[in-house]
Each structure stands twice: as structure tokens, then as C-alpha cells.
Amino acid sequence: MTCMKSDFIRRTMGYHHLAIGLFLLQIFYNNLCNCQIPQSFDDTETLPSPRAYTPDVGLLDFVYHNHDEMTRFLRTTSARYPNLTALYSIGKSIQGRDLWVIVVSSSPYEHMVGKPDVKYIANIHGNEAVGKELMLHLVQYFVTSYNTDPYIKWLLDNTRIHILPSLNPDGYAVSKEGTCDGGQGRYNARGFDLNRNFPDYFKQNTKREQPETDAVKEWISKIQFVLSGSLHGGALVASYPYDNTPNSRICRSSALCKMFQSYSSQPSLTPDDDVFKHLSLTYANNHAKMSRGVACKSATPSFENGITNGAAWYPLTGGMQDYNYVWYGCMEVTLEVSCCKFPPAHELRKYWEDNQLSLVKFLAEAHRGVQGFVMDSNGLPIERASLKIKGRDVGFQSTKYGEFWRILLPGIYKLEVFADGYAPREVDFMVIEQHPTLLNVTLQASKRNDGPYNNYRPVSAAQQQHYRPQPDRDQGILSSLSSGFNSLVSNIFG
């Protein structure tokens, strides 16, 4: 009897273990059949190809996203947050890839009168890939923090933020993860460096215009951007205008510039040098490492406080930041965010942690200085009025709503305002640290035969914005040697 009872118990326990095994197998099968596609992709899409490591579960993984994956993330985000985002394309690359821009704001589909538009552009060099991923994570951070972070809510309620994650998707497509140096993927599909393809203030740029840069030029001609950041890789520094100088040597590539960086690199300072240094320091000081000014490699320069004047680092012709500033009064800073141009994907989380606060605080600087409206005597806005701060001969214009903005540090200034058909006006004002100065300017219509304003015709913005610095004519033989060397370098490396 005892043997029969023991045998019964063994059989019962065996069935019990079998039942548990079948139950666990069923749970595994159900989970397998109901697996969740990462939310950064549409439900109708197939899973992405295997990554180099296991990605995090969440809205956006810390991995590199190709153009199709980036497009799906931007479309999904725009659909999921229609009250905070709007997606549009400013054009197409050589190979037909859309140049996507996503607006993040509490008013994404229309301009908020009296509130500035700002922008970030990344991946202008296709093999400098960290900036593109930072932009995607910045978008996610904004939309997921709006209802929980008062500072982010204030920023999105008072600013329209335009983010272009990849200006050079064709170059990115042929770049290789893990490649820290070199030029593969740097250029667009026609072999042009897009950051040498803009009109230049100091020298005529003879490079053939490219569709990617044409798209940017048309874009910023339609939207009065106040502040901009251009994200690059290969160094750790915030670089501010001017990038070029009247005495600059020809610099066809960053590698060439580094070869000769000790040769007569001098700062080329704008009339707003104090503001540009402040903007650069805002980014560097909020970055985890940049402000230390540590060189990426022993053979490369270090940067005091993590900032540099562009021309002092190495001069270049046709840069985007000079074009933004000279042609449209938009203050753009070049942000070099990684020593390695295309580091392994497992390092992306750290890059995001290093740059997150800087990316937010930099944009908030658009709310520093002076802002207001230019109106006629009937209170109607005057569009395209030409403005400049006296002593700072770089102009800017009013929008179709008569709005204007200018980033300035605390001090006393004089605003000069001109508009066709109106008497010019000068207005004194003060800027303080705590908040922007609100300044509305009313212009009176000029009479055809009314004294000194009879023949007044304001010149176009491009004409009136600048004095043109001239090369020093008294350098004698050194000047001649410099010109000869520039010609030689141009012929050899051009």
C-alpha cells in the first residue's frame, strides 16, 4: 500500500511539473505573438535590422537612425503630438531624400506674433552623425516634458523651434559608424561641402550652388530666425562668426586647415562679438565637458573656455553661420559636439546627457535683448523695415507683422529704423539682465518735398547691413608672401 501511495505521489508531481512547464510555454508563446514594435516606428512597418547592441525599450532608442527610420520617427511624433509639432520639408537632396524640419511649439502651425522663431540644423556634413541623433532626442524631450516641466512649457509657449536633423542625408547614407576621422560621407552626392557652399561676405564664392543649400537659403528668407545653432562633429567647441576674414588663406577642407592652422590664423570679429561670445559660453558652460577646453587629441588645439572665433580656428569661405548673420541678421553659432565624428552607437546616451541642458539653454537666449514692433501712425505694421543697432553695422528686418528682435547684453543702445516712404528714426533704449526690453517704434510718412528726407531711399537689407572690412594694406613683403602662399595652396588643394 505504501508503495502504491508513493508511486501515485511521484506521478502526480510529474503531472504538476508538466502543467507548470506547459503554462510557462504558453506565456512565452503569447508574448512572442504579441510583441511590441518600438514606438519610434509605425505599426505597419517591419522591425529594423539588428543593431550592434540591444537597444533600449522606449520612444526613441539610442541608436543611429537611417533616413527612413528618422522619417518614421518624425511622422509618428507629429501624429502623436499634433498640438506641439508640425512636420514639413524644405526641399530634397540630390538623391531625392526629404530635408525634414519639425517645429516644436505650442503654436506649431502658425507664427506666434511677438514670439521669436529659432532653429537647429545638424548633419550638414554627412559623416558627423551625433548632431542628428541629438536633434531627434531633443524633439522627444520637448514633447514628453511639456506637461511636466515648467521651464520647457515656458520655452515652447514663447518660442517656435524649428529642427532640421539632417541637411545632408545622402552623405550620411554612405558614412560608416565607428569612423572618427576622414571624409567619407562628408560631402553631398555631388561631392560638394555644404558648409562651403553659401554666399560669402568677404570673398566671392564660385562653388556651384547645391539644392540642399538652396533650400536653406529659401527657408531662412521666408522665416525671420533670431537664433540658430549648427551642429557638427570632430571637435568639442562652440565656434562663432566670422568664419572668414579679408586676409584668410584658402581652406578647402578641415584637414588642410589643420595642417596650416599655425599660419596667420587671426580672429575675424563681428560688431556683435560680445553677444556671440556670450551665446557660445552659454552652450559651453552648460555642457558637461566643453567649457574645460580640453583638446580632442594631442595634435589638435585646445580652446579656452570651450569657445573660439571661427576664423581664429581656421578660416573658410562659404560657411553657413556667416551667411545667416550677414544676410538675415540671424545669430548662428557652430556647435562641435563630439571629438569622434561618427562614434559607436553605444556612446550616444552619454552625448545626449552631455548636451541636453546646453541645447535647451542656448535656445532660451533668443529672449535676451530687445524686441518690439515697427508701425505707422495708424498703428499698422511696417514690413521689411531695416533696423540696426547704432555702432553695430549689421542690419536686420521687421517681419510682415512689423516684429523685430535683437539679442543684446545689458547696456544702453540706440536703434536706427528705416523704411521706404517713411522718415528714419533713432530710439534710445536700455537692456537689462532679467527680461527683454519691449520697444515699439512708430514711423511717420515722409513728404515728397519735406526737407532732408525728400530723396531718402533706404537701400536693401543686403546692401545696408555692413561696412566691409578691408585687408591691411601696410604689411609690405609679408602681405605679398601671404597672397602668394594662398594662391599656391589654392592651386595645389583646390
Task: List the pLDDT tens digit at each of the 494 positions of the chain.
Answer: 444 444 443 444 444 444 444 444 443 334 333 333 233 333 333 334 434 434 343 479 999 999 999 999 999 999 999 999 999 999 999 999 999 999 999 999 999 999 999 999 999 999 999 999 999 999 999 999 999 999 999 999 999 999 999 999 999 999 999 999 999 999 999 999 999 999 999 999 999 999 999 999 999 999 999 999 999 999 999 999 999 998 755 544 444 454 444 445 799 999 999 999 999 999 999 999 999 998 898 878 889 999 999 999 999 999 999 999 999 999 999 999 999 999 999 999 999 999 999 999 999 999 999 999 999 999 999 999 999 999 998 999 999 999 999 999 999 999 999 999 999 999 999 999 989 999 999 999 997 654 444 333 334 444 444 433 433 333 333 333 333 333 333 332 33
Give the three-state DSSP class for 111. Answer: coil
pTM: 0.80
416-461 pLDDT tens trace: 999 999 999 999 999 999 899 999 999 999 976 544 443 333 344 4
Residue from 336, 365, 403, 416 carrying the catalytic annotation: 336
336 carries an active-site annotation: yes
Give the integer Cα–Cα distance in Å for 49 and 128.
Answer: 22
8 A C-beta contact, residue 218 and residue 271: no
Give the integer Cα–Cα distance in Å for 191 and 207.
Answer: 11
- Burial string for 32-57 (b: 16+ CB within 10 Å, else e) reads eeeeeebbbbeeeeeebeeeeeebee
**Residue 110 CB coordination number (10 Å):** 10
